Chains A and B, each alone.
Chain A
Amino acid sequence: GAVVSQHPSWVICKSGTSVKIECRSLDFQATTMFWYRQFPKQSLMLMATSNEGSKATYEQGVEKDKFLINHASLTLSTLTVTSAHPEDSSFYICSAHQGLAGGGGGYEQYFGPGTRLTVT
């Protein structure tokens, strides 16, 4: 099956600094990727939809100036957490959309392994 990687798998940064998380589709091209945030023992909350070659679409309540998303190629989307604060500590997961062969509108989202961000 399709593979999505994330880098780094975990990162610790100081408050006020920025950190970049990469999401790559390794064996397929993804015009659309998604970024989720997950708090401990909670569900995934969609932060934004990342579209290759265009601006990301952010969900309501997500600060677009704080969570910068760049989808520069068909296999790479990046999430930059700017001026990080302890409340930004979380598990960030990306996914890549792939339509299924044969049409019919079917698709799958392939998820990366996640990035654990800790802001001290």
Chain B
Amino acid sequence: AQSVTQPDIHITVSEGASLELRCNYSYGATPYLFWYVQSPGQGLQLLLKYFSGDTLVQGIKGFEAEFKRSQSSFNLRKPSVHWSDAAEYFCAVGGTGTASKLTFGTGTRLQVTL
């Protein structure tokens, strides 16, 4: 069974500081990996995804993530956080196929201090 672990429930960073959100996955084959962001009371917005190819993927809003197969990780990074980045971040794993289900991690709540 596929699973996702986000070890950090809550992270606080200062505006302008760098950010790294951790994500570890468990999947029996090559995973499809996603990072989503959710603002309070809202749906999910896709930040970036990895299917194959270059293991460093660029996303929207200045985010990037690196797929490391040997560590079963897909950590999300941003070099300089903005106050508007405060939200809940979810890592998800899915498989191949035309209609693969996604399994989400428990989320990391990001707080940004000014």
Residues of A within 8 A of B (CB): 4, 6, 31-32, 34, 41-44, 46, 49, 51, 91, 93, 95, 97, 99, 104-114, 116
Contact = CB atoms under 8 A, between A and B. Distances in A.
Contact of A114 (B32, B42, B94): B42
A109 B42 contact: no
A49 B106 contact: no
Contact of B43 (A41, A107, A112): A112
Interface of B: 32, 34, 36, 41-46, 49, 51-52, 90, 94, 96-107, 109
A43 B51 contact: no
B96 A105 contact: yes
B101 A107 contact: no
Chain A contact residues: helix, strand, loop or mixed: strand
Contacts of A32: 98-99
Nearest to A45: B104
B96 A108 contact: no
A34 B101 contact: yes
A6 B43 CA distance: 10
Contacts of B90: 43-44
A46 B97 contact: no
A97 B46 CA distance: 13
Contact of B104 (A6, A43, A49, A99): A43
Nearest to B53: A104
